[in-house]
Chain A
């Protein structure tokens, strides 16, 4: 754009221009050495980030004899799908059909995410837009619990599960997912940004709480629940071996896959290729969800960090 090129000369004339041109004009006080330095920093870290990911993806396509060569190769010379085939072959030898593990993971992720989005949104609405006794106490409990590490509550959680007799049921993984505090926090922050006048107008028109919530609040916070979709899928999809599920036919996909690669206990070099294939395979769903909601994530994450 010509605006940004001429900007340094005519700076003051553009003060009342549109948002967009002002945004571009930001580049004005950028020194060249600074740009080069920062680009170098970005380059170094991009390589640091990308190399392991690249190695993992390319290992998944390497034949066995290429996995262990000296010096190690980043890219396969003869790419193959054998690791993926082997993964399915090994899985098909287990007593429980492979498809069952996939079903378990899809069920837990799907139901858990749907329930979490609905329940946390419903709870967030009164917390954000209504006044009732106990509101600030409940909300501070939620914020407080965000600081709690999940490992810390593992032991008593097991006690609760065994009291409920939910050990070795899907419920043990699905129901707690409904009540994750991060989601509530996110939804509450977004709902606060809905103008009160909008809700008041609907109330005067005779809309009841259900109507207002589903027809006005939820459509207005679409970016928020799309973000929640990503965060929830991202936390539920990788659930592997855990304290609650011991029956083989109820185990999740990551739990089953970890059994063949040996991840979690020791490193199994003999199955390095399959291990990489597994990791690549597990990434597919979260990445698809990331791309699906990406533009919304960027918009909504900023508001989630906002305090009133």
Chain B
């Protein structure tokens, strides 16, 4: 590229390209990049929407880390849920995509729809409210009591002993999303000749084939799936609110997203809520980087 281009010739040269990206990028900047930027700036202010923001330096962060009694609870719950449901959802998606891959086209299509249906249907998780309902008419309690396993109804949605477990089941039920679809497609994408060559080279069974051939060749899908799992697992909030109420009993399932909503949507402490948002983002970025490094290093 020549460096002495005037603005006019620069424009003539790239006009078509910039005009093509402009509409999307304009909207992307206004509704994605700008809000992120504002959020990060607001995290250094005290702002209640009504009055102008007041710059307070790192006060929000100090308050969050030192004074907020709910922050450790929210952080603990978020990490706990994410550490369990993130990797588990990822592995389950991979495992089931692998099993489905061995089936015929029609069976695979039907089962793919079955596994994907909780995600596609959006609000279907509300059925778990009936399954978990705390009286004898709750589906799960009904079965357990009928079988004589439980003698009185278990409060799945309000008893702290059972809330984490019941929430994890719902989240795993919903974990077959875009990542799962990308795994299904990834398996189809592996060159069959590689399996052929591997068989000759002494690959004995399907597990070796999976480990030495399939997984290394679908690394992009694995990364994609990992990002989807991480963002999903750390962003948990609305499903829990719908089933367990807001806040959940004893704050047992109170996550970072709930803490953020508590200050942002209920108390209108926008500066403080932004600090929470920024911290959550930093955590997600860090986890993302670690996971990407782990996956990137796998085949080398």
**A residues within 8 Å of B by Cβ?**
11-12, 15, 19, 22-23, 25-31, 34, 38-39, 41-42, 45-46, 48-50, 52-53, 55-56, 59, 67-72, 119-120, 122-123, 125-127, 130, 132-133, 138, 141-142, 145-157, 159-160, 175-176, 178-179, 181, 184, 208-209, 213, 231, 234, 237-238, 240, 243, 254, 258, 261, 263-267, 269, 272, 275-276, 278-279, 282-283, 286-287, 290-291, 294, 297-307
Contacts and interface: CB of A to CB of B under 8 A. Distances in A.
Given A71-B146, A152-B260, A122 B20 contact: yes
Interface string B17-41: 1101101111110111111111100
A235 B145 CA distance: 39
Contacts, number: 315
Nearest to A159: B38
B127 A56 contact: yes
B72 to A, nearest CB: 20
A149 B42 CA distance: 18
Given A22-B192, A149-B280, A302-B186, A132 B18 contact: yes
Interface in B1-31: 14, 16-18, 20-21, 23-28, 30-31
Contacts of B120: 234, 283, 286-287, 290
30 contacts: A27-B102, A29-B199, A49-B173, A55-B130, A71-B143, A71-B145, A141-B28, A141-B33, A145-B36, A147-B285, A151-B235, A153-B32, A154-B261, A155-B260, A155-B277, A156-B34, A156-B37, A156-B38, A160-B35, A160-B38, A176-B31, A178-B23, A181-B32, A234-B120, A265-B246, A294-B113, A302-B189, A304-B224, A305-B224, A307-B223
Interface of B: 14, 16-18, 20-21, 23-28, 30-39, 42, 92, 95-96, 99-100, 102, 109, 111-124, 126-131, 133, 136-139, 142-143, 145-146, 157, 173, 176, 178, 181-182, 184-186, 188-189, 192-193, 195-196, 199-200, 203-207, 209, 218, 220-225, 227, 230-231, 234-235, 237-238, 241-243, 245-246, 257, 260-261, 264-265, 270, 273-274, 277, 280-281, 284-285, 288
Contacts of A265: 245-246
Given A149-B284, A279-B127, 4 more contacts: A12-B200, A42-B99, A119-B23, A238-B123
A240 B136 CA distance: 31
Contacts of A12: 200
A298 B14 contact: no
Nearest to A14: B196
Contacts of A123: 20-21, 23-25
| Residue from B114, B121, B238 whose CB has the most chain A CB atoms within 10 Å | B121
B22 to A, nearest CB: 8
Given A42-B99, A234-B120, A153 B137 contact: no
Nearest to B241: A264
